[in-house]
Structure formats: structure tokens, C-alpha cells
Amino acid sequence: MKTRTCIALAIISLMALVFGANAQTNPGLNPLTSFGVRFDGSIQPLDVPWIDIGNNQRGMAYDPVTGYLVFVDTHSGAGGSSNVLGNIYILDGINGTIVTNLNTNGIVGGAYADAGSLVADDGAVYVCNQVNNSGTTPFIIYRWDSVLTTNAPSVCFSNFLTPAQRYGTSMDIRGAGANTQIIIGSLVNSTSGTNVVVFTTADGTNFASNVLGTDATTANFNDGIAFGPGDSFYAKKVGAPLRWMSFNLGALSATTIKTYDSTALGNTDNLGPIAVDNVHKLLAAIDVISGTTGPEHVRLYDISNTNRGPVLLDIKDYTPNNANASAPPGYLDFGGGKLYSYVINNGLIAYSVDAVPTVAPTILSQPAATNRMTIGRTITLSVSAFPAVNYQWTSNGVNIASATNGSLVISNLQVSYSGTYSCVVSNAAGTQTVASQLVVVNPTDLYHLNLQWSAAAGAQPYIDYSGTGNVPNQRSIAYNALSNQLYVVSRSSPTTSNYLVYAINATNGAVLYTLNTNGIQLYVAPQGSSSGLGLDAIGVADDGAIYACNETPNAYGGSPADPAKVFRLYRWANGDSNTVPVQIFMGDPASQSSTFRWGDVMSVRGSGINTQIILDNNDAAQRYVAVLTPTDSTMTNWTAQYFLQPTVGTPIGRSLEFGPGSTFYQKRKGFGLVQSSFDLTQAPAATTTLSTNSNFTNTLAGVGLNLTRKLLAGVNYPVAATNDSLDLYEISDLNSPLFLASYIFPVYPHNANGNFISQTFFAGDMLFTIDAQNGIMAFKVALGPPTAPNFFAQPQNLRVILGGGGSMTVTLDQQATVKWQRNGSDIPGATNLTYAITNAQLTDGGNYRVIAANAYGSSTSSVAVVTVALSQGNYSLSQAWNLAPASRPYLPLDGSSSGSTPFYRSIAYSALSNQVYVVTRTGASSGQAVHVLDAATGADLYTLDTTGITGGSIVLLSVGVSQDGSIYAANMDTSGTNAAVYKLYRWADANSSTQPALVYSGEPANQTTGFRWGDAMDVRGAGTNTQIVIDANQGSLAAVLTPVDASLASFTNAYFGETGPSTPIGRSLQFATGTNIWQKRAGTALQLVSYNLPGGTSTVLSNFNNFASSLGSVALDVSRKLLAGVNFAGNTNSPDSLALYDISDLGAPLLLATYNFPANSKPNVNLIAQVVFAGNRVYAVDGNNGIVAFNLVAPTPPSLSVTFDGVHALVSWPTNFTGYALQSAPVLASPSIWSPEGTGAIANGQYTVTNTASGGSKYYRLIK
């Protein structure tokens, strides 16, 4: 971390020898054997009680005055604590023993009360807290005069830092007294994580913050930061390049001087914590290895030549190999001729930094012996070596000019570029030569993929975004060649046990129906903190039988066995919608009596009695593979034979696929493709690893193979701000796979998928792939070279308010360069898939298109028209009243950290009484109330009588009012397994003494299994014409309730199937005209559905996708062409808002304005809200976030202008007033007859209608 200038003179003179061109020595790292108890310079976890493997230790710093170390033991684990739970130890820098502890009285606040530590050149000690949100929690720095003081610390800084980010994981210090400077880096929170803060002081004890904006566009500062020479610093984040930046405190800015990525600094992606010695031009870094796949390394670099980048001098391994923390991974510090390194959970190591004899180069990494590439591609050949080496690349024995870095980049490959590329690695002690054969292939005779269809997350009911990266709702797909159907296992949300198996037309992606799930144990009990899935992996045998299993973290069920934990496998004899599944196996497939997780992946092959199913378990401690086979031709009883697999790790996100004979393949992101064999006659003997092929990109996850065509395809997970892709390889030589093409998923940027859960497989001439949270794609495999990019989605027309903003997005089927054009001219810098307009001006209007190109050609999108409208020509809102959360006793927060169960969710309006009704409760089955408010002021009037209302999972939830003033409210019920009992109540009027009558009780769709009903409803009509529409949580059923007779005492149900989003929790439901309904939820399209009650069916008429993805529940006022909806802020630093749209063109909705809820956003994980248009007002409730009421303000109409051009009358109005049509009438006297004159031609910013002047008068008006 720190920059030191006080290394002993003997060390200075010794190390000064290394910087000549022919130096015989170089700085190296030697263990300080006096440090620790192992005589190897290390204090490993549990050598002492204050270093362990519980994520308990944080900051470490060297004191140049005493030679001691400051070591922070938070003893608060990964979760942290706002109070001090451990000690801040002062360690002897020579032997590592405890000298004393610092006084921690008064330290409090933050995610970690004490975290990073620093020592200035004058020996003053500084310790900061760690805050996850510097906008809501003060960042604090404490100060002690020295490591030996017994006094409590003073607070030298305490304040909020904006923008709100996470601070306290990376820091450095330099100077002394009034010249002390402290620098800290940010970690992305709700913002980009691209800020740095430099603290300065005028008196040495009180510090001021200087928050610097940087030119980094992505987070780069949270793992390591260190002052460089002058006003500069170095910064590093795992996965990001090393940056050297200058800073200007006056301008509050930092600018990149140089970046050193993997082409300039080999094997740098995993470097995190850093320290810099500016006197001796040295940089040290910790090479962070994820999990337990390998030990961490400490690397030492020479940074004396800034033109060529850091030169690796030495590398040392950690002995422990425990899973390290990620924020931060550890700490480094130079001092006293030594380097100290602490890796969280792996111990503290001390090295002396000495001049050591230069030895011949050691090669750390090198290219594959053979690399095969197609023409037009780019290849990077990389070599990493040490100590103090120089590189020179050659092509067929001839030096390549200026190719003197560890990496050689060759672009736009041609067949003529094929040959031998060698890297001569040399230093003062010797030379090594590394050679690699490059074969450039013309892809004419190879394969590519033609997209047949795709479904982005949220575009179809069978694929969605769950809202959290580690628990996707869809994980597995399977193909049935006999029926040409694709099956998708889906659950409604991460917290429910509602599962569906969708049968999809494999040709076009259309939903056909869902499989019968009667009899399946859909609830899996958790094992500790680990939850299971009622259905997860799915596969199809050659005879069309379908197999699916649960995922359970404790497959054997525990002792005594818990039936809700046991692993279960089910079989459908065929894909008919009424075929009932049969359980064919239960228990641990490896017959173990410990807690092993099974069911994440499986593969099926064969048919009938020859069917085989292969599974593996998830546990890092012990890996098993099991092959299940039927015991007889009934196919209802199966046995498992298991094998111990030498490989350990996690199969979450890993593929598992049968190979030829008794072999199988496995692949996960970050690991090679492993082929293993098994012998059923030798079970439970260990499997044999036949090969491990690691020459695929490190970001390639699970794969599918087509060995006949020698193809492999898998989902590639690159950086966050882009699309995931399906990558296709030719694998005739698995040691040198040939990358063919990349086909991107239609979600930009990609949704989080923390466990990289995907599945890809070939099926005849087809290929299917799912990327959890992001989409499903289907391709045909075709012979020949890849093609020019095709547009998944075209740019859509956009309407924006003057001064407002909006965006247009295209999606492509493969990686390509993109440029946007306006009116045929390139827009500078517009090279992303999304083009955003901010502070829209009239000049932003026009025709937009996109040109996408790759090595095989270019494609041009359709034209999208951007219209900029004036605000005065449209509706707006003025606030009538609002109720902040907790402002009234019946509007409390629900108390859960995620806000999953708001106590108020529904609102309704009665025109007859001019009242608003709000349903609230205090518990799931208690405290129900219907509060009556004055609609104009929001004042409480009284509550309705709720006598006799009981039952349901939530006793009272939704409310609506019919045109005759009757009030209807209902419960929400779901049992997870048994049929729901939905209860609908009616108040004949709004009198406080009117008691509710139960008018319906039962399962609205006559189902016998568990569906969730009651989250949403809408009411229309009056008397016997009253209709109430509701839908089920799974998105597959809806019902309309109507009165049996004029008494309105009893309602009957009629239901229909639908293909809505898989959860209506947080979804709006509203009658449209006739037998149509509107539905909307955040992350999904506004959907117009037509239903047929006699047939029990429905049809999706339209999906309108051009609203913000954060727009949740909506209401429509079709007569005014308005839509209002709750827009969810997504972070706690901003309030949710009510967004108002003009929908005269639903294909290009015009965002008129947003109006904030009265407080910053409170948790509401299920996005529960409701909006109601009521005459000239709009009401909205946002679960846990309050209620708002607005008055509708009518637009100022445009002015008509009439001019004459000879015999023509030119009637015009500004083009900023959109959606108007001109009408004319000969007289104004009643009855006047208005005739259409058209919408006008656009010229010079005006809509103009040309009429031929004639005798008599003519009157004009505009209508919208």
C-alpha cells in the first residue's frame, strides 16, 4: 500500500546495482525467517488466535519509525460489525509477535468499524472504517499519535462522501504532519465505483476530503491503490488493468497516464492489492486466485521504465490455499527493506527485499503449441516470464519490429499469416525461446449457426429475470425430437414453490402448454442456509420420455430422513399435457449419508430399458458421479450406480453430457473441458480422467458437443457491461480448438447470473441454449462461413419531451461493431447497442438507423423516427396530496430486509362517494382493515366494517369498486400444494356500518393443485353486469367472476388459460375494451390479451416493449391516451416515482414527466404497486413507499395558423404538438358537422394541411 523512502542505506546501495541494462543482480524476495513460528517468514491461519480463516482480519501497515506493523483483527467475519469486536495489534516487524494493542475506545460505525490501517512517515497511525454506502453512513478516519500510545484515538475525519459508494477496502498514505496525504479507492455500490478520494490536512490532525472524478469508465480502484511519484497514483482491481494516474486536487480530477493490461503486463487480470516503493521503483501485487483452485502469489515488479510497463522480478507462492475474501482480498506494504503481505484467510508473510543474482528466465505462461483461427479474427499470443526479462517476437525466424512486450496482437488474420511465431525471452543470465504454430483457416468449409428464434428474459413467460443473480427461475431445457418440442423448467419466483414445465414449439419459440405436475413434491426443505428446488434439471430420452429431478442440498434427507429434503427423479412417459409424472427414484444417488447436493445437472440418453441418466453432486469436499438405469420394462423403478470422481469443485453452472461409450464431459467457467470414463461393472470405483482441455477462453461456461460435426458451443460470460454470448468452436483438435463465431444473447447489458448457470446442446440440425436470467436461443447448424450480423431487435420510434431524455436499443445475433446515424450521417461516439438522448433539443429529432458490421459483412437496421415534443402540448400532473411511509399507523414498513410482504398494496376509488379505499393489515392473517380517505385531501374518514373476514395466506389484499359504488376486496391464498381458497367480499355501499358479504369462495380455475390467487384484480360494470378479473401467480391462468343474480350475493367463476409473465406479484391487471385485459410488471412488456371464456383460452394481441424496464404496475386512461406507472428507483438513495406517458402511439410511448414518491426508496423486492386513474386524478400506492395523489392538468392546445398562397389556404401548427388531427366545419351553430382534413405534411417544423380556397366560411379545429 504505502510508498516508503526510509530503507536502510545498505539496501539502497545493493539494489542500485540492478537497473543497468546488463545487470547481474535484481531485486528479489527472500522469506524473513525470523518472522513467525515456522521459520519461513509466515504466520499462517491458526498459528496464532488473531489470524484465522473466518474473514476476520482486515488492515495491515508498516510503521517506519519503530519498524512495527499495525494489524487490524475485526473479528466480525464476512458480515462485519459497526462495533469493534477484535483488537488492533502492534506486531514486531522482525518476529511477528504482539508488542501491544491500540486503544479502540470510541470507534463505532460503518459496515466494519475498523478496517484499513495506515502509518505516516512521522509514525502517526490512521485506521478507517469500511462503509457500504458513503451517502448514508459516514466514512471515518481515526488517528493515534504513535503505535505505542495508550490514548484513545481522535477522529480526524467523519463525513458522508458523494457520490455514494463503498469505501475502506483500498488506501495508501504518504508524508507527515501537515503534509500528510491519504488516498482511498471506491468500490461500486449504486454508482460506478470510479471515484478516488484524497484527504489533506493543514494541521496534521484534521483532514478534509477531496473526491476526485476520474476518466475510468468502470470500477478500477477497490482492491489496491498506492501513491506514485508526484501527484500520481497506481490503482488495481481484479479483472481490470493496472492504471497509473495523475491527479489535480484543484480540479478534483484524476487522469490516466498509462494503463497496463494483459498485453503489456502478462497474467495481470487477477492482480488486486498493490504497494509501491517510489524510491527503488518497485511495485508489489497480490495475485488473487479465486476460491481454492490455487494459492495466491506475491509478485514483485520493476517500474523504473514507464515506457515498457512493469517488469516482473520475482514471484512467491502462499502455502495456505483457503478461499480468500473478495473485498478486499488482502494488503501489502513496503518498509525497512522488507515487504509484508497479508491475504485474508491465508496469513501474513514477511520478505526481505534483497539484491539477488539474476537467473535464467523462468517461463510462467506461454501460448498453446498450435493456435487455429479463422480469417479476419484477432489473436493475442502471450508469454510471461521472470526475472527482469526482455521480449522479442519473431515470425518464421524474423524479428517483428516493436514487438517487445510479453504479448503479440495480430489483427485481421489472413491465411498468409500462418507460420511459426516465437518469443525470445532473455535477461543477463540467459535466453529462452517459446514457439507457437499459427494456422489461419478459411471458414468456407466449416459450420456456422443461423438463428431461428430467441426469447429475451421477460419477453416470454418461460424465461424471466428473478431480480437476484444467484437464484434464477429457469436453469434447464430439453428437446424432444419426436414432438419437436422444447421443455423449460420454470418457477414463479425465488421464494415460492410454484413450478411449471413449459412445452414450447421448438421451431418458433411459441408456448404450447404446460406439462402436468400433479404428484410432484414441489417443496424442498432447506439444509441450513442452503435452499433446494422442487424441479431443476430436465432431459428427454430417445423414446420421448421426459425426465426431471429436484435439486436438494441434502439428497439423503438427513437422520431421521425428512421427505421434503430427499432427492427425487420423475418421469413423464410422453409429452402430452395430461400425462401424469411418476416418481422413479428417491434418495442419495451415491448412497451417502452425508449432506450432498444433487440435481443441478443431468444428461439422458438411450430409450426404454436402455435409458441411462447421469448426475453429479455439487460438493467441493467429495465429488460423485451416478448413472441411473431402469430395473425393468415398466420404467417405474430405477437403480443408481455411483463412482468417486477425482475432480472436486462445484457443478453449479457446469455442464454434464454423455460422450461416446462409457464417457462423459464436464465444463464450467474458469475450468477446462474434462472428459472422464466410467465402468458400470466396477462401481463404485473411481472414474478415470481421460483428458482436460484448457485452451478455451477462460470465461466459457457450460458447453454442448456435437462430435459428429466436431463442434462445441457454450455460453461465454465476459465483463458486466455487455452481452453474454454463445461461442461456437470447431474441435477436430481439442488441444487447439478453432473459434468460429460468437452469437450474443438479446439482453444488454446482461443480467446478473452469479453462478454462470447455462445449458447448451445440439439436437440433430438444431442447437438450443439457455443463459439463466438472460434468454433462450435456438439455431440451425449450417455449413459454410459465418454471416454478417443480423438484428434481433430493430430500433423503435422514440418520442421525448423537450429537455427530457430517452434511448433506443438494438440487439444483434453476434458480436459486431456498431455505429448510429441520424439523417444518414454518423453520430460521433455513438458506437454502443443503446443510443441515449439527454436534454433533448429540437435538433435531436430525425431519422435514426444503425449499421452493424463484422468480418463477413454489414447490415443496416430499419429507420426509427425520433420526435421531440413540447411539454405544454401534453398532460401533466400536480400533486393533490401524499402519504409518506410510516406517516400513519396503517402505513408501516413490513419489517423484512427485502420488503417482501408490504402491509399495504392495493388502492381503489369510488366516484359516487369521492373516496379512496386502502387495504392494510398488521399480519398475514390479522389486523385487516379498509381505510376510507377523502379523495381530494387524503384525510382519514373512517374504516369499513371487516366483520367475518378470515382465511387465506393473506387475509385481505386487493380492492376495487364497481360503477354502482359496491366495494369488492379479496384475500390472497396459496398453499403450494393444495387448491387455493380464494375469498371475495362485497360491501353494498361505503357506509361505515355496512358489513361485507362473502360472495365467492373457492378455486377460481377449478384446479386441484396449488395456484396463488389474489395478488391483482380489476372491477368494471354495475349490478348484474359487474365483472371482476383476477389472475394466478404462475401466469398461466386467469378468471372472471360475475354475479349469479340481481342480489349480487353470490358470484360464479369462468377461467381461461393465458401466457403471461410467470409472476403477477407486483403486476397490474386492468380491463381493456370488450374481452381484453392489460397486464404489466417491471421488466416485462405491457401486454394486451384477448380472452375467450367459453373456450377457456386467450390470445396475446400485442406486446409493447418500449417502456423503461424499471416501470412496474400501470394504469391506462385510454380516452386521454395516457398511462401512469410506478417506476422503481432500484437504490435507496433515490425515491421511486410515478411516470406519466402519452400513449397516442403505444409503439413509441412519450414519457411526459416523473413525480417522486415522498421518501427515498424502501425495500419492495416484489415490486408491489398499484395505480388508478379516477376522473381528473391519479392515485398510486407503492408497497412500503407510501401513497401519492395527483390532479391531471390538461395540455395547452397548439395554435392554428392560416395563411394563403394564391387559391390555397395553408392551415398549420407546430410539429412539437404530436398526435393531433385537423377537422373542419362550415358553421359553428349546432348541430355542426366536423369533417376530417388530415394530420398534415411536415415542413419547416410545421404540420400543414393545404385546402383550396372557395366561397363561404370554414372553421378549423385540432383534436387528439
> Can you name the CATH fold of 362-441?
Immunoglobulin-like (2.60.40)
Please tell me the predicted confidence (pLDDT) of residue 267: 63
User: Tell me, what's the pLDDT at 375?
Assistant: 87
Which CATH architecture best describes the domain 873-1193? 7 Propeller (2.130)
DSSP label at residue 417: G
Confidence band (pLDDT; 50, 70, 90) for 422? very high
The answer, yes or no, to whether residue 458 has pLDDT greater than 80, is: yes
| Cα-Cα end-to-end distance for the chain | 65
Choice among 163-177, 447-461, 1223-1237 with the minimum mean pLDDT? 1223-1237
Chain position carrying cell 435507496: 1132
The structural domains of the chain, with segments of one domain joined by +, span 9-357, 362-441, 445-783, 791-814+826-869, 873-1193, 1201-1263
Q: Which fold has domain 9-357?
A: Neuraminidase (2.120.10)
Q: Per-residue DSSP letters for 233-284?
A: EEEE-TTS-EEEEEEETTTTEEEEEEEE-TTTSTT-TTEEEEEEETTTTEEE
Give pLDDT tens digits for 524-570: 888 877 888 999 999 999 999 999 999 998 888 888 889 999 999 99
Is the alpha carbon torsion for 200, 202, 206, 210 positive or negative? negative
Q: Is the pLDDT of residue 191 over 70?
A: no
Please write the tens of the pLDDT for every residue from 995-1033: 999 999 999 999 887 788 999 999 999 999 999 999 987
Q: Alpha-carbon distance 681 to 752, whole Å?
A: 43
**Rounded Cα gap, residues 736 and 726, in angstroms:** 19
pLDDT of residue 391: 94
pLDDT at 976: 56
Mean pLDDT of 485-501: 82
Q: Say yes or no: do domains 445-783 and 873-1193 share a fold.
A: no
CA 167/CA 1022 separation, integer angstroms: 59
Residue 977, pLDDT > 90, answer no
Of the chain, the percentage scoring pLDDT greater than 90 comes to: 67
Looking at domain 791-814+826-869, which of 3.40.50.12780, 3.90.930.60, 2.60.40.10, 2.90.10.10 is its CATH number?
A: 2.60.40.10
Q: Is the pLDDT of residue 836 over 70?
A: yes
User: Is the pLDDT score of 57 beyond 50?
Assistant: yes
Q: Where does the pLDDT of residue 1208 fall: very low under 50, low under 70, confident under 90, or very high at 90 and above? A: confident
1180 pLDDT tier (thresholds 50, 70, 90):
very high
Among 223, 318, 323, which residue's Cα sits nearest to residue 274?
Answer: 223
CA atoms of 986 and 968, how far apart (whole Å): 5
Does 996 sit behind a cis peptide bond, omega within 30 degrees of 0 on the bond before it?
A: no
| Distance from C-alpha of 31 to C-alpha of 114, rounded to nearest angstrom | 29
pLDDT digits (tens, 9 = 90+) for 757-778: 999 999 999 999 999 999 999 9
Distance, CA of 177 to CA of 207 (rounded, Å) = 11
Residue 1063 pLDDT > 70: no
> Residue 827, Cβ neighbours under 10 Å: how many?
13
Give residue 626's identity as a one-letter amino acid code. Answer: A
pLDDT, position 651: 63
Q: What is the pLDDT of residue 8?
A: 29
For residue 931, pLDDT over 50 is answered with yes
With 50 as the cut, is the pLDDT of residue 785 above it? yes
| Mean pLDDT score, 177-202 | 88
311: cell is 517488469
CATH superfamily assigned to domain 445-783: TolB, C-terminal domain (2.120.10.30)
Which range among 291-300, 935-944, 1242-1251 has the greatest average pLDDT? 935-944
pLDDT tens digits, residue range 1117-1134?
Answer: 999 999 999 999 877 889
Peptide linkage before 684 cis (omega within 30 of 0) = yes
- What DSSP string describes 745-770? -S-SSPPP-TT--EEEEEETTEEEEE
Mean pLDDT of 1084-1111: 91
1226 contacts: CB under 8 Å, gap ≥ 6: 1233, 1256, 1257, 1258, 1259
Distance of CA 972 to the CA centre of its chain: 30
CB 594 within 8 A of CB 577: no
pLDDT in tens, 371-405: 999 888 889 999 999 999 999 999 999 999 999 98
Q: What percent of the chain has pLDDT over 70?
A: 95
Q: Which residues contact 1176 (CB under 8 A, 6 or more apart)?
A: 1191, 1192
pLDDT over threshold 90, residue 288: no
Give the span between the Cα atoms of 223 and 274, in whole angstroms: 8
Question: pLDDT band at 257, cuts 50/70/90?
Answer: very high
Cell 430422513 belongs to 561
CB 835 within 8 A of CB 848: yes
Instruction: Give residue 1144's Cα distance to chain centre.
Output: 33
Give the containing element (helix H, strand E) for 184. Answer: strand 181-187
pLDDT tens per residue across span 1140-1174? 999 999 989 999 999 999 999 999 888 999 999 99
Mark 664-701 as b/e (b = at least 16 C-beta within 10 Å): bbbbbbbbbbbbbebeeeebeebbeeeeebebbeebbb
The whole-angstrom separation of Cα 1117 and Cα 1123 is 6
Query: Using 50, 70 and 90 to split pLDDT, how confident is the model at 496?
Result: low
- Stretch 347-372: mean pLDDT: 93
Give the pLDDT confidence score for residue 1138 in this predicted structure: 97
Nearest to 388 by CA among 470, 303, 273: 303
Residue 849, CA distances (Å) to 7, 145, 852, 927 in order? 62, 64, 10, 56
CA distance 93 to 77: 25
pLDDT over 50 (residue 1078) = yes
CA distances from 259 to 1, 197, 309 (A): 19, 20, 9
Beta bridge partners of 167: 131, 186
Alpha carbon distance 602, 354 (integer Å)? 54
The pLDDT score that the predictor gives to residue 2 is 46
Give pLDDT, residue 1.
47
Distance in angstroms (rounded) separating the CA atoms of residues 818 and 387: 42
Q: Is-contact 1073 1120, C-beta < 8 A?
A: no
Please tell me the distance from the alpha carbon of residue 314 to that of residue 389, in angstroms, as a whole number: 11
Q: Give the Cα separation of 425 and 34 in Å (integer).
A: 36
Rounded Cα distance between 1189 and 1087, Å, is: 25
Mean pLDDT for 449-474 is 85
Average pLDDT over residues 330-355: 96
pLDDT digits (tens, 9 = 90+) for 62-105: 999 999 999 999 988 877 889 999 999 999 999 999 999 999 99
Mean pLDDT computed over every residue of the chain:
90
What is the signed CA dihedral for 462, 464, 470, 474, rounded to 10 degrees?
Answer: 10
Report the pLDDT value the prediction gives residue 10, as an integer from 0 to 100. Answer: 30
> Which of the four pLDDT bands, split at 50, 70 and 90, describes residue 235?
very high
Give residue 124's identity as a one-letter amino acid code.
Answer: A
- CB within 8 A of 1105, min separation 6: which ones? 459, 796, 1085, 1086
Quote the pLDDT of residue 1035: 64
Sheet holding 904-910, edge to edge: 904-910, 915-920, 929-934, 940-943
Q: What is the DSSP letter of 806?
A: E
- The beta-strand segments (E) located in 596-669 are 598-605, 612-617, 623-630, 638-645, 655-658, 663-667
Residue 838 phi, psi (nearest 5): -120, 150
Instruction: Enumerate the β-bridge partners of residue 600.
Output: none
Instruction: Show the cell assigned to 627.
Output: 448413472
pLDDT of residue 631: 96
Say if CB 448 and CB 786 are below 8 A apart.
yes
The pLDDT of residue 188 is above 90: no
Asked if pLDDT for residue 721 goes beyond 80, the answer is no
Q: What confidence score (pLDDT) does residue 1165 get?
A: 80
Q: Buried b vs exposed e over 343-376: b needs ≥16 C-beta within 10 Å?
A: bbbbbbbbbbbbbbebeebeebebbeeebbbbbb
